Chains A and B, each alone.
Chain A
Amino acid sequence: ELKVEQNPLFLSMQEGKNYTIYCNYSTTSDRLYWYRQDPGKSLESLFVLLSNGAVKQEGRLMASLDTKARLSTLHITAAVHDLSATYFCAVDQGGSEKLVFGKGTKLTVNP
């Protein structure tokens, strides 16, 4: 059974600081996704990572994937308040397109 673990679950940081959210998963997979969710809203797709060593960047967010370590990271650079949200990683179950989600990381960026 595929398990996905995120940490930290809660993250409070100051504007301008850097931080990394980690996503570990238990079985082999070749697709990992990062999503953002604002309160009361659905999911917004941030990144799709499809291969070992994949790195994608969008603005202040950068995601990477190490399939050998079964680890993905979401790095936040010079955080701003607008990044406050809950971030989920999700892993595809063996190419079935069925996603298993981590518990989410609630990020609060303080002025």
Chain B
Amino acid sequence: GAVVSQHPSRVICKSGTSVKIECRSLDFQATTMFWYRQFPKQSLMLMATSNEGSKATYEQGVEKDKFLINHASLTLSTLTVTSAHPEDSSFYICSAYGLLGTDTQYFGPGTRLTVL
């Protein structure tokens, strides 16, 4: 089946620093990738939609200058949390939707971000 990887799986950083999270589709080309955030014991909230070669579309309430998304190729999207603060600590999950003839998104394993 289709595999989506994320790197790193876990990151701890100091307040004020920036953190980059990578999302890769390993065995298929992803026309669209999505970034979600999940706080403890809560559901997933869509942050943004990332399409290869174009600007990301952010959901209402998500600061585009804080969460920078780049979709450089059909297999790679990156999320950079700039000037991270403790309230940005969360589980970030990406998903990829590609030309596989299936009607489903494939989710990455997630990245747990802790900002001290």
Question: Which A residues form the contact surface with B (CB < 8 A)?
Answer: 31, 33, 35, 40-45, 48, 50, 88, 90, 97-104
Contacts and interface: CB of A to CB of B under 8 A. Distances in A.
A101 B34 CA distance: 13
Nearest to A48: B104
B75 interface: no
A100 B108 CA distance: 17
B42 A97 contact: no
A39 B21 CA distance: 21
B103 interface: yes
A40 B91 CA distance: 9
B46 A100 contact: yes
B49 A42 contact: no
Contacts of B34: 97-99
Interface of B: 32, 34, 42-46, 49, 93, 97, 102-110, 112
A2 to B, nearest CB: 11
B43 A104 contact: yes
Given A31-B103, A97-B32, A42 B109 contact: yes
A82 to B, nearest CB: 20
B9 to A, nearest CB: 10
Given A35-B107, A43-B44, A99-B46, 19 more contacts: A33-B105, A40-B112, A42-B107, A42-B110, A45-B105, A48-B102, A48-B103, A50-B103, A90-B44, A97-B34, A97-B49, A97-B105, A98-B34, A98-B46, A98-B49, A99-B34, A101-B43, A103-B42, A103-B43
Contacts of A31: 103
A104 B45 CA distance: 12
Contacts of A101: 43-45
